[in-house]
Structure 1
């Protein structure tokens, strides 16, 4: 919970699109919150702002041109665990919310949300220190019995995960077979098994999963 008796709540609005940040300013103004906002459009600016200012709440997009925000979330929580982080993103909440919460975020909010829900999320972060939407709450309940919802790669065996990372590293069937000293058709079989377990159909999706969850 954040101390609302502070003279001002200090927000970091981090998104590479200025219009998104300005939209959040509109919501903050309309809510009547006594605040000051700092802006960041990339990871370097996020780090600088966090280091130089006693930020209370960071509202951060899930993706920047440099990559996803999972690492920066972990960095913020390691340096200043008191900062509350709300992920505000256009990516699918059903697919991605849990991995961001697992990385240390205190809430996940879709950019498709209306103004009222955005205001509710911010107030919840201020008053409770977290925002759990109905969608994320259902995901959290399901994750108690299915840990693969948090990290789909957990469904793979050690060998399958090793090979998945090789594919993500740009290696092909023949190269992987030679590196592991097995037959090429064995690698092809394992590849099919990996795709089936992860419910994907191509290497692009595999690379994305490995990048996001490794």
Structure 2
């Protein structure tokens, strides 16, 4: 089957850079989208072999759609390319059978190496899945990370409940769990912790 790649990132310069590198591996089809909705539509309209995916996109956290993508397109290989710390997302991504993670802050040579390994289906393992004690956000479950994303972006409980299709009291409970797990004393403190542990939103 012909290798067909789709890159999902909200920064056009990142998509262009990744596309240029991937085409060096004799890949003829490299498509680009910027949002979760655009990605789901593209996957519906065409058949791809590889997906390069950021975690945080303008219309949501991709944790909200990864399970659905796995169910609908089980043969699709997924590489997470993100600024988010691996110690927070690594275990959750493994739960979804995603073992390829590329941190955006590494050198171009390392990016190229990981992309080539990914495209050629060379088995990769996530490195540096660090002990939960180091990063308090690593103890958060999938739904808690989804709520955290909207919380850090200033969404209110009612808005988050509408976006995630959950009851308001459920969102309130999840918010309390988040604050307890990361030991945040206030919303300002939560923002400070997120910044200190490189949680982008």
TM-score (norm 1): 0.62
Return the offset for 1:199.
Answer: 3.9
Bigger relative contact order, structure 1 or 2 (CA pairs below 8 A, ≥6 apart): 2
2:190 pairs with 1:200:
no
* Counterpart secondary structure, 1:139: coil
After superposition, the Cα gap between the structure-2 partners of 1:95 and 1:69, relative to the gap in structure 1 and judged at 3 Å, is: same
Ranges in structure 1 where 5+ consecutive residues have no aligned partner: 1-5, 155-160, 172-178, 180-190, 209-214
1:12 matched residue in structure 2: 6
Which whole-Å CA distance do the structure 1 matches of 2:138 and 2:106 have between them?
25
Residue number among 152, 159, 165 corresponding to 2:139 in the alignment = 152
2:12 pairs with 1:28:
no
Residue number among 127, 149, 153 corresponding to 1:137 in the alignment = 127
2:98 matched residue in structure 1: 105
Cα RMSD of the aligned pairs, angstroms, is: 3.7
2:45 matched residue in structure 1: 52
Note the 1:82-97 alignment, pairs <5 A.
82-97=75-90
TM-score (norm 2): 0.66
Residue number among 115, 120, 141 corresponding to 1:122 in the alignment = 115
Bigger Rg, which one: 1
As a proportion of its length, which structure holds more helix? 1
CA contact (8 A) 1:58 1:86 kept: yes
